[in-house]
Structure 1
Amino acid sequence: MSEGELHLNDPRALRAYAHPLRLSLVGLLRRNGPMTATQCAAELGENVPNCSFHLRQLAKYGVVERVPGADARERPWRATATMTSWSDDSDDPEMRAAADQLNAAILAQYVRRAEAYLAVRDTEPVEWRQAAGFGDTMIYVTAEELADVVARVEEVLAPYTDGAARAEGSRRVTMVQLAIPTPETGAP
């Protein structure tokens, strides 16, 4: 897999990426490395033609690609970057709508992951049950302060993102960051 970040700046690419199976396929390729559509289908409980179609759609926007040098019989795919970014603050209404669609799809995927964890939480060792969990903190900040808080959280997490340098007994953990301005009154 190519290292680094893929920045999507086309609303069509954002909408193409904002599909639950496509998000899962990219995540799978990032975690496991190159895989064929058949392997992806088996891992995700999907059918091969469906995975093959969605991989081709992702390839149109440079999110995945065929592994160079693969033979014609076995045709693995790989993610083109270790992470994907996009702008949430575009002046273009179409871009903002596409970014919102992608953000909503990703949020739904995180909710599904959290629900799946809760379904098996009781089988986890006690130290993992104590370490993992949910929480929230209400803070009062300016936009600049919020940007600083987000940057500092990313700085704290950075040393733990290198899977090659992982400590003995470590596991993959998803850290979800939501920084959502909250109304002072009304809806929670």
Structure 2
Amino acid sequence: MKLDDPKSLRAYAHPLRLKLIGLLRSEGPKTATQAAAALGDNVPNCSFHLRQLAKYGFAERVPGADGRERPWRATAPETSWDDDSDDPDMRAAADQLNSVLLGSYIQQAQSYLAIRGDEPAEWRAAAGFGDALVHVTADELRELTEQMEALFERFADRSADPSARPPGSRLIQLIQMAVPRETAPNS
């Protein structure tokens, strides 16, 4: 789903809504009660934010196992938006969403560090942090980003199809950031 208006960006830029969509995408349909239990939140709060997600087209109701269940599902496997708008409202909304996402990524990384010592050695060796400093043009950075996304795409079918997941696989979040280190390009 491509977000192209400030109102949708701001609606999506809520920490619980991002967690709810992530849960629906990774685990499939959930009721507000199931989502609250999985996220450690309360049912009325999750119910409200699921309705808000539905209002903006991010989530929808699906038939339940019985007439009383009211599960929700994500309407798209991913969400994207452009960060290059000249519209000040779009830039502000995209910056707000990016800021909320960055906070979420930091929290997830800190949560992993808190349990890292309990992970098996093979997972401690495979997971982790790193960075690279490269001197590139804007076009080269776009090309590099496209190449990284192509690598991630190799595993995309496993999200929707649990039978495509090899034994021993785990859900891993790869976080991509391309952030200039200088405020202005060198002359």
Query: What residue ranges of structure 1 are gaps of 5+ in the alignment?
Result: 1-5
Q: How many residues are aligned here? A: 180
Alignment TM-score, normalising by the size of structure 2: 0.92
Distance 1:130 1:36 in 2: 36
Question: Does the residue aligned with 1:160 lie in a helix, a strand or coil?
Answer: coil
Which amino acid is the alignment partner of residue 124 of structure 2? R
Q: Which string of whole-angstrom CA distances, capped at 9 and with x for unpartnered residues, describes residues 115-139 of structure 1?
A: 0000000000111101111111000
The answer as to whether partners of 1:121 and 1:129 remain within 8 angstroms in 2 is yes
Distance verdict in 2 for CA 1:166–1:69, change over 3 Å? closer
Distance 1:13 1:184 in 2: 29
How big is the alpha-carbon RMSD for the aligned residues of Structure 1 and Structure 2? 1.6
Q: Which string of whole-angstrom CA distances, capped at 9 and with x for unpartnered residues, describes residues 51-71 of structure 1?
A: 000011111110001115776
Matched, 1:65 2:60: yes
State the partner residue of 2:153.
Answer: 158
Distance 1:159 1:40 in 2: 29
Which amino acid is the alignment partner of residue 113 of structure 1? Q
State the partner residue of 1:108.
Answer: 103
Name which of 10, 15, 40 aligns with 1:15. Answer: 10
State the partner residue of 1:3.
Answer: none
Query: What residue ranges of structure 2 are gaps of 5+ in the alignment?
Result: none
Distance 2:75 2:136 in 1: 36
Matched, 1:174 2:173: yes
Distance verdict in 2 for CA 1:143–1:37, change over 3 Å? same
Q: Which string of whole-angstrom CA distances, capped at 9 and with x for unpartnered residues, describes residues 142-187 of structure 1?
A: 00000010111111221122213222211111110100011189xx
Distance 1:39 1:123 in 2: 27
Correspondences of 1:49-88 after superposition (within 5 Å) = 49-68=44-63, 72-88=67-83
Distance 1:12 1:138 in 2: 35
Distance 2:183 2:82 in 1: 27
Matched, 1:37 2:36: no
Which amino acid is the alignment partner of residue 57 of structure 2? G
- More divergent stretch after superposition (164-173 vs 83-92): 164-173
Percent sequence identity over aligned pairs? 62
Question: Does the residue aligned with 2:20 lie in a helix, a strand or coil?
Answer: helix
State the partner residue of 2:119.
Answer: 124
State the partner residue of 2:23.
Answer: 28
Which amino acid is the alignment partner of residue 94 of structure 2? A
The answer as to whether partners of 1:70 and 1:76 remain within 8 angstroms in 2 is no
Alignment TM-score, normalising by the size of structure 1: 0.91
